[in-house]
Amino acid sequence: MATAASHDPALARMLILEELFDLSLYKALRNISDDTESQKVLDELIVVETQHLAFWQKFFDSRLTALDPGRRLKLQFMILACRLLGTTGIHLVLEAIEVHGVRKYLTLWNIYKDQPLGNALKGILMDEFKHEDVLVSQLTERKINPERIRNIFLGLNDGLVEILGAVSGFFGAFGDAMTVLIAASTTAVAGAISMGAGAYAALNSETEVKTTDLNKKRFLGETAGESGTEESPLRSAVVVGCSYFLGALVPVLPVLLGAKTAVVSLFTAGAMTILVSTLLAFLSGMDIKKRVALNLVIITIAVGVTYAIGIAARTLWGVSV
């Protein structure tokens, strides 16, 4: 049996604390859940996580049993979110936790697969793939529409970034808050309609292609599953369009409330970008820090370029109000 001295203490601490966090979360969700099926899955997950925690504590010869302050804060935030969102929130959290867990262990296994730690990680991964991941997938696949979740967050993000860029450019060109408000508002409405129409056309085309392929297989006597998508084209269009418009309101509202420059819009959009990016990265299993940093870089570039274009338009072509 390897000891803690055989491995990086920081790695040992991380693996134990991550399992302890998952176990604490599952126990808390079990206490607040009123859905029988969710309770059953959580009971099984608690058993597995208890075994994983005990395994790592023994493997690293560690008696670590308490979460650090950062993870305690994260735990309370997730519990609060699940209380507010109910069963759907619990399912989203379970799915995201499993995605992150699988990704984390696969990354570590690729690094340590030729060492004693690699064999330990392989055993945990087998549990993840054969038990935990299957349990969560069976629970959430009938209740969570991933396309709708993606449409909501991508719509919000697109509306926020694009209209923030527009607000910045309009302030650079016109310098007048009322003109900026009118221009940005009309751009937001047009963008929401365009995004919704694009989502409808794309999903409708996809449905037609699948239907044609299904009919072809039926004609040839081949076995074919049901055609179609979980999300209807019209519903998808509404979700994308409304999400885009809500995202667009973030940089527009400060101007509506009296902001005279794009600075306030930049700060509010930045805060919302961090929130949306964090949620999207968490739900999709992406690295949260990288996702947030990437989106902040994108809005910084968008603001800088559009403001420069606005200034150039005012200087070179005499745009004024």
Q: Between the CA atoms of 63, 68, 71 and 72, what dihedral angle is there, to the nearest 10 degrees?
A: 100
Residue 209's CB is within 10 A of a number of other CB atoms, namely: 11
Q: Where are the alpha helices (DSSP H) in the chain?
A: 9-32, 36-59, 69-112, 116-127, 133-140, 146-173, 177-219, 233-256, 263-284, 288-317
Using the CB atoms, write b or e for 18-28: b if 16+ within 10 Å: bbbbbbbbbeb
* CA 28 – CA 95 distance, rounded (Å): 16
What's the predicted TM-score (pTM) here? 0.68
Q: Is 139 exposed, middle or buried (0-12, 13-18, 19+ CB in 10 A)?
A: buried
Does residue 271 register a pLDDT over 60? yes
The tens digit of pLDDT for each residue in 76-98 reads 999 998 998 888 888 888 878 87
In this prediction, residue 104 carries a pLDDT of 82
Report the alpha-carbon angle 25-99-52, nearest 5. Answer: 55
Reduce the secondary structure of 285-299 to three states and give it as a string: CCCHHHHHHHHHHHH
Average pLDDT, the chain: 83
Q: Where in the chain is the domain with CATH 1.20.1260?
A: 4-140
The tens digit of pLDDT for each residue in 99-156 reads 778 788 888 888 888 887 888 888 887 777 766 656 666 666 655 566 777 778 888 8
CB 67 within 8 A of CB 75: yes
Q: What is the DSSP letter of 1?
A: -
What's the whole-number mean pLDDT along residues 303-315?
Answer: 87
Using the CB atoms, write b or e for 258-275: b if 16+ within 10 Å: ebeebebbbebbbebbbe
Structure tokens, 191: 């963008």
Query: What confidence tier does 188 reach under pLDDT thresholds 50, 70, 90?
Result: very high
SS3 state at 164: helix
The tens digit of pLDDT for each residue in 51-64 reads 889 988 988 888 88
Distance of CA 210 to the CA centre of its chain: 28
The tens digit of pLDDT for each residue in 222-268 reads 765 554 445 688 888 899 999 999 999 999 999 999 888 888 988 99
- Is 4-140 CATH 1.20.1260? yes
In this prediction, residue 5 carries a pLDDT of 42
What's the whole-number mean pLDDT along residues 173-183?
Answer: 89
SS3 state at 303: helix
* CA 94 – CA 140 distance, rounded (Å): 8
* CA 71 – CA 20 distance, rounded (Å): 10
